[in-house]
Structure 1
Amino acid sequence: MLNELISELNTRGATIVKVVDISMLSANENHGYNISILIGIVLSPSYIFRLSKENIIDHSEFQEKEHLTHELAEWTADFIIAKGYKAFALSDRNLMHGFFDKATKTSSLPHKKIAILAGLGWIGKNNLLVTQEYGSALCMCTVLSNAPLPTENRSILMPKCRNCTVCKDICPAGVIHGTTWEIGMNRDLVVDVYHCNGCLKCLANCTWTQKYMENNFK
């Protein structure tokens, strides 16, 4: 079933598909499901170039791919349910069903936590997932399920940002504190999400995102 699922998701535009065991998480986080499927779509190098080098404010590709990951998550949930198992997509449309707190702007199970359990990357000083291959140029969504799919949990990667403060320095709203993330750290010590304007500068100008762009931009 997993190979069929991955093949179909890749055909529909997914770049990354990972399945992780979440049975060790609290009931508040996993809501009684034992696995989570992470679906990721990479932002194009040309888009990152426009955002960073040409300094253009443009949310078009980000919004398009963010929306597509959520559509793929809902499609995945339907696919698994049709196979006779339970599944729930943590899409924007579904998050309001007890999975997201508007007051604190927190999700009970963030997509990036699943990405960390899959060993895809670490939490950067911009409070985004940072991967060695793509930097932060990645849109993600997840699906919870009880389907008997093979999982691939990895060791949690600690931040590789070191002394870099590019995201903090470039943030026009001044919401990034420059704090190095640690396991269990309160998000508010890393970033002030309440005053973030969503400009994507920290995403595009992260040195790891820039490496991805430089290695792939033609």
Structure 2
Amino acid sequence: MQDLTTEISGMLLEQNASLVGVADLGDDNLSPVSTLPKAVIFGIALNPEIVASLRDSPSAAYVGEYTGVNGLLASLGARVAAALEDAGYRSFCVAPTTGDFDKETLSAVFPHKTAATRAGLGWVGKCALLVTREYGSAIRFATVLTDAPLIPGTPVTRSFCGECTECRTVCPADAPSGREWYPGLARDDFWDARACYAEAQRVADAMGFAHPVCGRCIAACPWTQRYLQRAGKY
């Protein structure tokens, strides 16, 4: 299945995906569809100039970028699903996360960062966002689940945040505890989702946005800052 794995990855990169990986979710029953144990996970990096502006506060430009990238990811997901089905396999698209999530648990049906860590694309930061070496947290993801026997990447099994507490320092809700993530650690054991959500909703209400929004932790992350520096925006 090397050829199909290479074909899918190449197609996504040609269509301007920033990162692409394959995850095996079957061993630990992590797939929300048990009969589709593999995941194609792909991301698009956010505009560095807009990300740099998050150091001050979220803006309409950030909301527009966030929405636009989500639309591109959804379109790419449909193309991946079609390619897999043309090859004789089943697929199911998991759309990029939006404001449509479970308000009781503050969680999505499937967190894309689960596939991303299993594919080796990054780790979960102290702010509960995926952190990548290439773009920090300034990247959004979508996932296509499949039963195609694609070749998975090597999972990331530890955090590379170290002693850094920048996301905790800038968080107005004090949501990050400062504890480092590792596979199997429950989200609520290192990050306060409700505090984050309340602050993001407060900002949205004050600025007239339709969905909760913040993003300060994205801009503060040193891994994101390296991305901005390479782009000449820091």
Name the TM-score class by shorter chain. 0.7 to 0.9
Deviation digits for residues 156-183 of structure 1, max 9, x if unmatched? 2412222221111111233222222132
Q: 1:106 — aligned with what?
A: 107
- TM-score normalised by length of structure 2: 0.80
CA contact (8 A) 1:19 1:149 kept: yes
8 Å Cα contact 1:121-1:157 kept in structure 2? no
Q: C-alpha deviations, 1:6-51, integer Å up to 9, x for none?
A: 3332232211221122220227645221211001111232222222
Equivalent position of 1:15 in the other structure: 18
Structure-2 separation of matches of 1:120 and 1:8? 18
Does residue 3 (structure 1) correspond to residue 18 (structure 2)? The answer is no
Aligned length: 211
Task: Say if 1:89 and 1:144, in contact at 8 Å, map to a contact too.
Answer: yes
The separation in 1 between residues aligned to 2:71 and 2:130, in whole angstroms, is 18
Distance 1:28 1:159 in 2: 22
CA gap 1:111/1:27 in 2 versus in 1, 3 angstroms:
closer
- What per-residue deviation string (whole Å, max 9, x for no partner) do you get for residues 177-199 of structure 1? 22221322121122222332130
Structure 2 CA distance for aligned equivalents of residues 44 and 27 of structure 1: 31
Question: How big is the shift at 1:105?
Answer: 2.4
Tell me which residue corresponds to 2:84.
80
Counterpart position of 1:42: 45
Amino acid at match of 2:53: R
Moved more, 26-35 or 70-79: 26-35
For the Cα contact (< 8 Å) 1:28–1:108, is it kept in 2?
no
Q: State the distance in 2 between where 1:180 and 1:150 align.
A: 29
Q: Is there any run of 5+ residues in structure 2 with no aligned partner, and where?
A: 201-212
Which residue matches 1:215?
230
TM-score (norm. length: structure 1): 0.85
Match of 1:138 in 2: 139
Which amino acid counterpart does residue 160 of structure 1 have in structure 2?
F
Gaps of 5+ in 1: none
User: What residue in structure 2 maps to residue 163 of structure 1?
Assistant: 163
Return the letter of the residue paired with 2:227.
Y
Distance in 2 between residues matched to 1:3 and 1:164, nearest whole Å: 36
What is the letter of the counterpart of residue 200 of structure 1?
Answer: G
Percent identity over paired residues: 34
Q: 1:10 to 1:28 in 2, by over 3 A?
A: closer
Do the aligned partners of residues 122 and 28 (structure 1) sit closer, same or farther apart at CA in structure 2, a change above 3 Å counting?
A: closer
- Taking the aligned partners of 1:110 and 1:129, their CA distance within structure 2 comes to 10
Distance 1:28 1:36 in 2: 8
The structural deviation recorded for 1:87 is 0.3
Task: Check conservation: 1:15, 1:39, Cα contact below 8 A.
Answer: yes
Q: Structure 1 residue 31 and structure 2 residue 46: aligned?
A: no
Partner Cα separation in structure 2 for residue 30 and residue 157 of structure 1:
23
